[in-house]
């Protein structure tokens, strides 16, 4: 990020920013005009509450209940905490669950900021093994848990973290069956530990929404304490920096709320009022309708530029949502921060996220995360060309 700021001309495929050109200037301006009209109450300019604006919680709860019929909007609203982006919800969740030395079960790859956060809190990560499709493998997890019982690591597992819709970084989603099998394996191993489901990209599908229900309504997760986190930054006005968590465990939620109170006594009340207005008048949904084809076209532009790499043994799956491509380099080609590839990309003026940052140790260093959200289409094509030129030079054969 610092390099990108310091070196103009450097094209960043690394930053997980949203598309600047389509940010909802008009929707935010009209919400602000409404909230600041001379006859409007000044209350949104006053402090709010730790838990978050009731109006916003009710709108979000009704929205989630529409996506997952069967969930009770009343319960969702009461169990909801509005946060400064979903990042804060993740932090509060781990901070209130874990002590240094504890362990959290994660997918591989997973959201690298989450891994950094765990390490900052002195908490370790253990990877759920994956199958040939690259998805979490419940049967392999069962075997791993037996091993971790033997080593004493199973006793230190405090939570499981899933990025289950168009994941950052893999772009993959977990189907309901696989998500339920994971719960069954944990339960059979006597590990009914809290689950944190991070649904940051759930609404950023390009065509149809992913059909899997969240852990909140899947029966196999019923007895687990659950926290479901979603962001309002990626689908709408990123800079308003709001997110939320629904937590069905009252004690855990109150602990998080308490800590949040110490940090900030509630997220920006005004920002919440703006988002509530946009959710209520349909602008939020119109914005989503607007950005979905934009991100799909950007994905296509980057994939087209990268296509020559397929003949050189590079592989990736086409994501149906989210903001990222997850590339596997041919075996033997290193992609980590101090690799020749990374240095040569920097020289060539293109930045990527080394995939080993997204993997719990010991990490394989042959993956690359590329974000197609920030750059305009022509710059994406140029960034892709620069990456391909370097990768072709360094890929044997
Ligand atoms: C998987 C995932 N979770 C959570 C976040 C946090 O986002 P925010 O704090 O903007 O809601 C991000 C941001 O990139 C993310 O990729």
pLDDT, tens digit, 9 for 90 and up, residues 183-204: 999 999 999 999 999 999 999 9
Q: How many residues does the chain have?
A: 397
Residues 136 and 182: beta-carbon distance below 8 Å = yes
Q: Which atom of ligand 1 is nearest to the CA of 89?
A: 9
Is the C-beta atom of 110 inside 6 A of ligand 1? no
Q: Confirm if 186 and 40 have CB atoms less than 8 A apart.
A: no
pTM confidence score: 0.97
| 164: pLDDT strictly greater than 90 | yes
The whole-number pLDDT of residue 396 equals 65
Q: In sequence order, which residues have a C-beta less than 8 Å from that of residue 17 and are 6 or more positions away?
A: 238, 371, 373, 374
Cα dist. 99→45, 51, 104, 155, 224 in Å? 37, 24, 11, 13, 20
- Tell whether ligand 1 has an atom less than 6 A from the beta carbon of residue 16: yes
Report pLDDT digits (tens) over 93-103.
999 999 999 99
**pLDDT grade for 83, boundaries at 50, 70 and 90:** very high
- Determine the distance from the C-alpha atom of residue 250 to the mean position of all C-alpha atoms in its chain, rounded to a whole number: 24
Using a 6 Å cutoff on CB, does residue 267 contact ligand 1? Answer: no
Mean pLDDT value across the chain: 96
Q: How far is CA 267 from CA 140, 272, 284, in A?
A: 41, 8, 19
Question: Residue 323's pLDDT band (boundaries 50, 70, 90)?
Answer: very high
- Give the pLDDT band of residue 54 (cuts 50, 70, 90): very high
| Three-state DSSP state, 381 | helix
Q: Element (H or E) spanning 354, and its range?
A: strand 353-354
From the CB of 76, is ligand 1 less than 6 Å away?
A: no
| 213-219: long-range contacts, CB 8 A cutoff, minimum separation 24 | 213/68, 213/176, 214/68, 214/164, 215/162, 215/179, 215/183, 216/64, 216/68, 216/71, 216/76, 216/246, 216/248, 217/68, 217/70, 217/71, 218/176, 218/179, 218/180, 218/183, 219/180
CA–centroid distance, 356 to ligand 1, in Å, is 18
> 215 φ, ψ to 5°?
-60, -20
Contact 196, 227 (CB under 8 A): yes
Distance in Å, CA 157 to ligand 1 centroid: 23
Handedness of CA 326, 329, 332, 335 (dihedral sign): negative
Q: Is the shortest distance between the CB of 163 and ligand 1 below 6 Å?
A: yes
């Amino acid at each position: 990020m610092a390099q990108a700021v310091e070196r103009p001309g450097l094209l960043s495929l690394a930053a997980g920013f949203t598309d600047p050109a389509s940010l909802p200037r008009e929707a935010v301006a009209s919400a602000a005009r409404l909230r600041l009209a001379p006859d409007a109450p000044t209350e949104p300019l006053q402090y709010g509450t730790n838990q978050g604006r009731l109006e916003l919680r009710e709108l979000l709860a009704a929205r989630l209940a529409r996506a997952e019929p069967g969930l009770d909007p009343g319960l969702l609203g009461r169990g909801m905490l509005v946060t400064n982006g979903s990042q804060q919800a993740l932090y509060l969740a781990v901070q209130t669950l874990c002590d240094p030395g504890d362990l959290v079960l994660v997918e591989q790859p997973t959201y690298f900021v989450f891994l950094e956060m765990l390490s900052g809190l002195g908490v370790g990560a253990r990877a759920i093994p994956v199958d040939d499709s690259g998805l979490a493998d419940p049967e392999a997890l069962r075997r791993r848990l037996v091993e971790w019982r033997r080593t004493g690591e199973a006793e230190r597992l405090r939570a499981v973290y899933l990025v289950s819709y168009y994941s950052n970084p893999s772009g993959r989603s977990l189907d309901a069956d696989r998500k339920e099998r994971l719960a069954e394996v944990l339960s059979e191993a006597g590990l009914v530990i809290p689950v944190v489901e991070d649904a940051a990209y759930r609404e950023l599908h390009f065509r149809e929404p992913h059909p899997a229900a969240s852990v909140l309504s899947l029966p196999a997760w019923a007895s687990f304490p659950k926290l479901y986190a979603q962001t309002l930054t990626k689908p709408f006005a990123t800079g308003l920096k709001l997110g939320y968590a629904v937590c069905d465990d009252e004690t855990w939620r109150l602990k998080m709320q308490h800590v949040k109170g110490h940090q900030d006594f509630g997220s920006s009340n005004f920002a919440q009022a703006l988002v509530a207005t946009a959710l209520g008048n349909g602008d939020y949904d119109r914005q989503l309708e607007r950005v979905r084809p934009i991100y799909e076209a950007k994905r296509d532009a980057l994939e087209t530029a990268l296509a020559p790499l397929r003949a050189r043994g590079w592989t990736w799956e086409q994501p149906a949502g989210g903001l990222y491509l997850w590339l596997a380099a041919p075996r033997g080609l290193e992609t980590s921060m101090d690799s020749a590839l990374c240095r040569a990309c920097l020289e060539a003026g293109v930045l990527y996220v080394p995939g080993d940052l997204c993997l719990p140790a010991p990490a394989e260093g042959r993956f690359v995360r590329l974000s197609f959200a920030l750059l305009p289409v022509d710059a994406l094509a140029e960034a892709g060309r620069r990456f391909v030129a370097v990768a072709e030079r360094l890929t044997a054969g």
